[in-house]
Amino acid sequence: MWTVEDGIRRLKDRGAKITAQRIAILKRLEGRTDHPSADRLFQEVKEEFPTLSIATIYSTTQILADAGLLKVLSIDEKRVYFDPGTHPHGHFLCTRCGRLLDVGLPEEMKLQVELEGAQVDRLEFFLYGVCPRCL
């Protein structure tokens, strides 16, 4: 897990401006184990910054993703979630309630994938089904 200070350092290293809104977004994401949606994160930060736009959420989270601080999970064309857990893991999406859960990866998938002439930068692993709460 990263801290707000880690986030600020990584943003500075990339030449990004450190704004009060970006710090507020970092604070809302620090230490989270859930996967807030863009709308949820927007509502949380908007409490502190009433003039905040949803575009600021998307642009800042993309900068944070580029800095390796979170993953942007595009479930479909309508739903985007943010995952501050950057360790290797997959996700399970409940098709009934929309709950998004972390899933450990099988050991075979943790092995480095080697492809001739290619470099693997990330692995995305999604499972879809019905969660225990909805069964």
pLDDT of residue 30: 96
Residue 51: half-sphere exposure toward Cβ, Cα within 13 Å:
2
Counting as low any pLDDT under 50, the low residues of the chain are: none
Q: How far apart are CA 83 and CA 70, in angstroms?
A: 5
23 three-class SS: helix
Q: Are residues 30 and 61 in the same domain?
A: yes
Is 76 assigned a ligand-binding role in the annotation? no
Is 131 assigned a ligand-binding role in the annotation? yes
Q: Are residues 77 and 17 in the same domain?
A: yes
Is 112 assigned a ligand-binding role in the annotation? no
Say which residue the tokens 């001739």 belong to: 116
Q: Are residues 120 and 94 in the same domain?
A: yes
Domain enclosing residue 64, as ranges:
4-83
How many domains is the chain partitioned into structurally?
2
Is 97 assigned a ligand-binding role in the annotation? yes
pLDDT of residue 110: 58
CATH of the domain at 42: 1.10.10.10
What's the pTM value of the predicted model, to 2 decimals? Answer: 0.83
Q: Are residues 60 and 110 in the same domain?
A: no
